[in-house]
Structures are given as C-alpha cells and as structure tokens.
Amino acid sequence: MVFLFKDKSVINILFLVILSIGVHFHFLISQPLLIANSNDGFISLILQQYFSKLDTSLLFVIYILSLLIQAVRFNLLLNELKMFQQSGYTVGMTYILLSGFTTVWCSISAVLFANFLLIWLFTKILKMYNHPSPKTLIFNIGIIVGISIIGYHPTALMILVILFSLGIMRSFKIQEWFVLLMGLIIPYYFLGSYLFFNNHLNLFFNYLPKFQFVLPSLQLKTSFTISAIVLAIAFLAGLYNWQQFNSRLVIQLRKNWSTILIMCLVLILAPFIFKQAGVLSAFLCIVPLSAMVSNAFSFPKRFILPNLLFILMIIVVVYNNWQLIKN
C-alpha cells in the first residue's frame, strides 16, 4: 500500500481522501465527539459557542476536511523544501494515520484547529535560514506564536522551538531576538487593549497559559498501550532512516531536520506541563512526527519494512475504531 503514496501525483490526494475516511470510519457509525475546555484558549470558546449546535454529519465533514487540508499542506511544504530524496505523499499518509492513534484524538477539539497555526508557523520557521527579509519573517513568527497561544495555550511550547531555531539558523544578532520578542507581545497587547476598552480587563489572565507539572490521567487500556508501542516503533524507524541520509544533506536541510526533531521532543511534553491539557494536547505532535516517521516509508528502496510498519499502524487504527464504535 505504501507505493501508492510514494509518487508525486494528483491522484495521491484521492488516495489520502480514501485513507482519511477509512482511518475515521467510526464517524459514519458513532457520533463525533466535541471536546471544548474553556480553560485552554479562545478556540475552545468558539467551539462551545458555535460548533456544539452543528449537525453530527457536518462535524464529520469538518474533521475530515481539516485533517486533509493539514496533511496535504504540510506534505507540499516539505516537498517544496526538498526535505526528502524523493517527493511523494508519504508525509500526508503518515499524518492521517497518526490522527487515529488514540481515541481522544478522533474528536473535534481546539488542538485540531491549532494545528493549522502550527503548520503555518512551521512554514515560516523552515524558511528562516536564508530569507531575504529576516527581521520581517522573525516578527511574523513571533506574532503567529502569540496568536497560537491565545487560541490554544499548550502551543506556548513553540516558544522553546523558535528560540532553538533562531539560535541554530541565524548568527546571533540582538536586534532579531528583540524583534521576535516584540512579535510575541503584540497579540497580547491588542487583546489587552480590546478588553480594557470594553471593561473586561479582568478576563485578560484567562488567555494566559496555566502551567502545572502533572501526570496526565492515562487510562492504560489495551488500545493505548498498543498505540504507544507502535508509535515508538514508527518514530525509531523514522529516526534510523533519517540518520542514514542526514549526513549527505546540505546545511540548511540538516538544520530544518534538527528543528523537526526538537519540535517532536518539546511538544510531547504538553500533557505534563499544562493544567487539564491531557493526552489530547499531544495531538500537536503529529505535525513533526508525521515528518519524522515518514522517513521510514520514503527512504527504504524495498517495500517489505515500510509495508510491515504500515500494517502495524492500520491495526492500531482499526482497533481504535472498534473501541469508538463499541462505546
């Protein structure tokens, strides 16, 4: 099955549509779950206000379209930057497969829409190395991060990622670091001004991330254990294959891959750092994880191991579908 996604053809988008419906087949039988925690940002408030009244079939369409747009956009970005030896749609395939790896990820939630901002931010970060107007780009990156945090608080971890990226991709210039800081502050400046003029300044602290070191309430069921094991295998397989060709890449691509790896390691901390974020917040990780894991599908010339990994991931998805339909 992997060979269907290794070519750079428009027909692959149709395969992604079929795959996304298959991965989330449970939506055709069970009602889509809407998760909106008012304490994790502005996006959840929008979900509570408008999405809770929508028809279940429309929620299904919104989820599938959101997932497809993100998968295709991220896939095209990495192809454009020539992050792989051969362009294809394995990144989009991996993105969709990972979305079905836990039952809680198969829901309409703030983190689903936060990934649009995350991919947009990722697009800017990977172009930082030799951009003709670096200060403008860095300022825009800061603004996007600020907006993301207001929308979904766990994206505050991206501050660590952009600091790391700026440190390795640009020679140190104090002006650029101040520009980044200004960009981060601007969204909160306008938010505070709006709340002040409407006599709601007391609500300002509701839009600040609430840090709390906690252990998420993991329900160690069979489905979660299987998902965690297969995800770890997929990540290690992608990491191994990435190391095989990383030394042959130009400096810019090496730094881009370093950013992706750091992004994986940082975003996985979200459930442990943010109050009431839970395992759902780890859905942010599928953006960098899909890039890293797709190395296990793109790099090997023989299809035996990629197909075996694909089958393992499908088994996880099928099992989670059965759990969702059964409940």
The pLDDT tens digits of the residues spanning 102-159 come to: 888 988 999 999 999 999 998 898 888 877 788 899 999 999 999 999 999 999 999 9
Helices (H), 35-133: 42-50, 56-80, 90-98, 110-125
Q: State the sign of the Cα–Cα–Cα–Cα dihedral 160, 166, 167, 173.
A: negative
Separation of alpha carbons 155 and 201, rounded Å? 23
pTM: 0.92
pLDDT at 314: 92
Q: Is 258 exposed, middle or buried (0-12, 13-18, 19+ CB in 10 A)?
A: middle
Q: Which of 168, 285, 185, 179 is nearest to 238 (CA)?
A: 285
Sign of the Cα pseudo-torsion (308, 304, 306, 10, in order): negative
Contact 47, 36 (CB under 8 A): yes
Which segment of 54-63, 215-224, 303-312 scores lowest on mean pLDDT?
Answer: 215-224
Query: Hey, how many other C-beta atoms are within 10 angstroms of the C-beta on 21?
Result: 15
Q: What string of DSSP letters covers 64-81?
A: HHHHHHHHHHHHHHHHHT
Tell me what the pLDDT averaged over the chain comes to.
87
C-alpha dist (Å) from residue 57 to 96, 112, 225:
20, 17, 30
**Which burial class, exposed, middle or buried, applies to 151 when counting CB atoms under 10 A from its CB (0-12, 13-18, 19+)?**
buried
Q: What is the pLDDT of residue 66?
A: 94
Q: Is the pLDDT of residue 215 over 80?
A: no
Radius of gyration from C-alpha coordinates of the chain = 20
The pLDDT score that the predictor gives to residue 90 is 92
pLDDT recorded at residue 151: 93
Structure letter (DSSP) for residue 220 = -
| Count of positions (residues) in the chain | 327
Q: Average pLDDT, stretch 269-280?
A: 84
State whether the Cα torsion 99-246-129-88 is positive or negative: negative
pLDDT at 1 over 80: no
Q: Which two tokens stand for residue 73?
A: 């956009």
Burial class (CB in 10 A: 0-12, 13-18, 19+), 189: exposed
The Cα 96–Cα 33 span in angstroms is 18
The pLDDT tens digits for 27-78 are: 888 877 888 887 888 998 899 888 888 888 888 899 999 999 999 999 999 9
User: Does residue 131 come out as left (phi exceeding 0), alpha (psi in the -120 to 50 range) or beta?
Assistant: beta
Structure tokens at 21: 């419906």
Q: Where are the domains of the chain?
A: 2-114+210-326
Beta strand pairing status for 33-35 and 107-109?
A: parallel
Q: At 217, is the pLDDT very low, low, confident or very high (cuts 50, 70, 90)?
A: low
